[in-house]
Amino acid sequence: MEVKKAKRKYDRAFKRETVRLVTEVGRASAEVARELGINVNVIYRWVRQYKEDQENSFPGKGHQKPDDLELHKLRKQLADMTEERDILKKVVTIFSKPQP
C-alpha cells in the first residue's frame, strides 16, 4: 500500500529567501534542498520563476499576476458576450417564424 505525502505549501517569503540563498549567496541548490527537506527540482522551478518575473513571482493563492488577472477578466467578458449572442440568435429564430 502506497502512503501519499501531504503536499506542503510554502509562503512567498520562504520561497524568496530560498531563491536568495541560491542566486545571491551562491549556495548550491542541492545543498539548500537537503537542508530544507525540499526536492531540488522545486528549488530549480522557484529560481526559474523568480528570474522570469522578480516583481510578481510567487503571487500566492488568490492573488494573480496583473497579466493573468487581465486575461481572466477578458475570458469572462468573452464568455458573457458569447452567451448573450446565442440568446439573441434564439430570440430572432423564435420571432421570425410565421405566426399561425
Over the stretch 4-38, which tens digit does the pLDDT of each residue have?
Answer: 667 788 888 899 999 999 999 889 999 999 999 99
Residue 90: its pLDDT value, please? Answer: 93
**Calpha distance 43→29 (Å, rounded):** 7
Give domain limits for the chain.
8-62, 64-100
84 close to 76: Cβ distance less than 8 angstroms:
no
The CATH number of 8-62, from 2.70.98, 1.10.10, 1.10.760, 1.20.1070, is 1.10.10
Write the DSSP string, 2-37: PPPPPPP---HHHHHHHHHHHHTS---HHHHHHHHT
| Cell numbers that stand for 33 in this block | 534542498
Cell 502506497 locates to 2
**Calpha distance 32→10 (Å, rounded):** 15
Tell me the three state secondary structure of residue 99.
coil
Residue 62: its pLDDT value, please? Answer: 62
pLDDT in tens, 38-81: 999 999 999 998 988 877 787 666 666 777 778 889 999 999 99
